[in-house]
Structure 1
Amino acid sequence: MTAWRRIFALIVKELLAILRDKKSRIVLIGPPIAQLLVFGYAATFDLNNLAIAVYDQDRSAASRELIAKMTGSPHFELVAQVEHDAQIAPLIDNKDALMVLRIGPRFSETLLRGDTGAVQVIIDGRNSNTALLALSYVRSILIDFNVTWAKQHGRPSPPATLEIRPWYNENLESRWFIVPGIVGLMALIITTVVTSLSVAREREAGTFDQLLVTPLRPIEILIGKSIPGMLIGLVEATFILVLVVLWFEVPLRGSLGALYLGVLLFLLSAVGIGLMISSFAVTQQQGILGAFLFAVPAVILSGFATPIDNMPDIVQQLTLINPMRYFMVILRGVFLRGDSYGLLFEQFWPMAVIGVVSLAIAGWLFRHRMY
């Protein structure tokens, strides 16, 4: 029997061990779909239907127009009309309203004189990120109100206006930024878990010694245990990519070939790390714990949710050995910017190096623990 036939037999054996159990099949299929849907709909930076109260002391056409612009926005929902000052604090304190829009009694009169009309926004600052996003929405609405008011009343337009032209994500939907990253997140978890259990499962089942007396050499066992993890990760990644494009309607603008080259290199590095974990693990429980011990910091340090540039310098240096950092750039570059091979070369080669080094270390650990 040639070496490749022996490796093929081991690959078939590994796939059967993973897929013959109904529970294992459900674990491979169910959680990725559930997590994709949860992340796709719940993990968003956009804020909608924020509770807002209005204190309109002017009750003029101008104030009503401004209020209509606020409440007509999908970002705000009117929950209360304030009649006097004493009602403001309880609304904010009890979180009945995120913010109170207060329009003074001479708002329209001041505008008609050509002066600046003041509007007060009282906002709950306990969650600073939410407060800052809400204030940015208010500023955009006020800018639109100023331009519309000037045109309607023959006033000169504001001396300086800001024209915004978003590139790559024209509607500024945070889902377009988050959902492609879930491909890397799911592929990392599935691949590392599957490969980290491969050797541990043999030890726990008592078949590891039988594997040692076969004609398989250590390098052949390593290859035979690597390929099933890559195949499963490739199928999972393809399935999630289809859902991202067809279900969430995120545009895929770049080269599909470049994307799959990135997927393969990322899976190579994930398999190498998973086999390193598996070489240390004695039981499957240890293998799972080791996989998640690696996956959690890998996701945090990948730029999936927070920019790497905002991290301390020493942490930024640490991200250079994280393959998911490079895969995030590839995913978002192909999906949103339309990147191809040339633009992504700087992301390809680090993952290839990480994959080769991790597999070499896994092979050394494997041989060391075999004998």
Structure 2
Amino acid sequence: MFARILALTIKELLALFKDKRSRFIVVIPPLIQLLIFGYAASFDLNHIPYAVYDRDGGYAARDLLARFEGAPSFDLARRIQRQDEIAEVIDTRDCLLVIQVPPRFTADLVSGQTAPVQILIDGRNSNSAQIAQNYVARIVTGFNQDWVFARGLQGMPVSLVTRAWYNPNLESRWFFVSGLVGLLTLVVTMMVTALSVAREREQGTFDQLLVTPLRPVEILIGKSMPGILIGVFEASLVVILAVFWFKVPLMGELAVLYTGILLFVFAAVGVGLMISSLAATLQQALLGAFLFLVPAVILSGFATPIDNMPPAVQMLTLVDPLRYYLVILRSVFLEGAGFGLLAQQMWPLAIIAAVTLAAAGWLFRHRMS
């Protein structure tokens, strides 16, 4: 029995490594995923863009703010001059947080009183907000210790007042559940479309389909429609569960949400059809879908911030449709953003959808000839 099992094992290994595609799939994808996980999957924040609204201008305020400028994890992006600029820098994601120093900050400290400092944090990404809040608290604690030691005082002279926008309690469920709408939509849509043409080839019915009166473009559209319909249905189902079961607030309009859903589903269908057109068997289609899904999720910012990734990896995220879709979802859910704010996320998604669908059509016709 052992000899038969050993012979069958050797036979399967030889069959696996005899195929060039199988050798490629066994060796290359794990290396790619290792590099992506190693560089992109990190919960540390190495680059926190922040803005400063210094309404005091005294030496104590300058000393405190200098500590943020000298901290390696903080990048000063803007100095604010008016109160209404705060909402602008957070809404456009130019800054993760805003440090507001009140007018009598230095005077209160010199007189021995407690001086508050307000930190306004973008709470749409609750994980990043909590990490940034801890970093800020660490710097303020260091300032307090130095101030007390230099003057022989007691107590904590600076009090930190933190307010998180769009997610006041920093509920991580709001962040992850809204992101799951994108993740589950991608998985289901990709699987449905990636297996469509490969299944026909493996079952031997693809040639029968070619002799029908249907033109290639009609066959391609017919293969696309199930993925589009199922993708929209899956997204709608997850949205309903997110709102009514997990109590995630849906602040925006359904028209904006479904525009983003449709653009993303078209892009996912295009990628799935490209994989299906290249794959000769169901196994190859499944492996191809897996090869795309894992990097797409890691590079999307689903769990780890894109700004924390190396510049070369950040460039790769520009061709990831899930990156733009997650921003649309979380902005509509938590912020109530409209078409004006999300146009810069929708047009790249539309381009990706157009390119992938066109490439899928070309591959489909090329494989038929």
Please classify the TM superposition score into its range, dividing by the shorter chain length: 0.5 to 0.7
| Residue in structure 2 matched with residue 234 of structure 1 by the alignment | 232
How far apart are residue 156 of structure 1 and its match? 9.4
Distance 1:245 1:286 in 2: 37
**Matched length:** 230
| Residue in structure 2 matched with residue 245 of structure 1 by the alignment | 243
Distance 1:136 1:324 in 2: 29
Name the larger-Rg structure. Answer: 1
| Residue in structure 2 matched with residue 59 of structure 1 by the alignment | none
| Residue in structure 2 matched with residue 160 of structure 1 by the alignment | 158
| Residue in structure 1 matched with residue 261 of structure 2 by the alignment | 263
Tell me the SS of whatever aligns to 2:163: coil
| Residue in structure 2 matched with residue 197 of structure 1 by the alignment | 195
Q: Deviations over 1:247-281 (max 9, x none)?
A: 11010001211011000000000000000000011
> 1:96-111, aligned counterparts within 5 Å?
none
Which residue, out of 310, 326, 339, partners 1:328?
326
| Residue in structure 2 matched with residue 340 of structure 1 by the alignment | 338
| Residue in structure 2 matched with residue 298 of structure 1 by the alignment | 296
Distance 1:321 1:369 in 2: 25
Tell me the SS of whatever aligns to 2:162: coil
Between 1:171-180 and 1:266-275, the stretch displaced more is: 171-180
Q: Normalization by structure 2: what TM-score? A: 0.59
Q: Deviations over 1:336-366 (max 9, x none)?
A: 1110111111111111111111111111111
Tell me the SS of whatever aligns to 1:304: coil
Q: Deviations over 1:126-174 (max 9, x none)?
A: xxx9xx97x959x79xx9xx9xxxxxxxx99743211111110011111
| Residue in structure 2 matched with residue 215 of structure 1 by the alignment | 213
| Residue in structure 1 matched with residue 348 of structure 2 by the alignment | 350
Distance 1:272 1:341 in 2: 24
Which residue, out of 309, 323, 334, partners 2:307?
309
How far apart are residue 289 of structure 1 and its match? 1.1
Q: CA RMSD in A?
A: 2.6
Percent of residue pairs identical: 65
The one-letter amino acid paired with 1:195 is T
Distance 1:156 1:165 in 2: 27
Which residue, out of 158, 174, 177, partners 1:176?
174
| Residue in structure 2 matched with residue 274 of structure 1 by the alignment | 272
Between 1:267-276 and 1:356-365, the stretch displaced more is: 356-365
* CA gap 1:179/1:161 in 2 versus in 1, 3 angstroms: same
Q: Is the 8 A contact 1:255 1:341 kept in 2?
A: no
Q: Is the 8 A contact 1:259 1:334 kept in 2?
A: yes
The one-letter amino acid paired with 1:205 is Q
Tell me the SS of whatever aligns to 1:165: strand
How far apart are residue 287 of structure 1 and its match? 1.0
| Residue in structure 2 matched with residue 365 of structure 1 by the alignment | 363
The one-letter amino acid paired with 2:216 is P
* CA gap 1:156/1:311 in 2 versus in 1, 3 angstroms: closer
Distance 1:284 1:263 in 2: 27
Distance 1:218 1:342 in 2: 38
The one-letter amino acid paired with 1:168 is Y
The one-letter amino acid paired with 2:330 is R
Tell me the SS of whatever aligns to 1:164: strand
> 1:46-125, aligned counterparts within 5 Å?
none
Q: Normalization by structure 1: what TM-score? A: 0.58
Q: Is the 8 A contact 1:266 1:324 kept in 2?
A: yes
Distance 2:201 2:181 in 1: 31
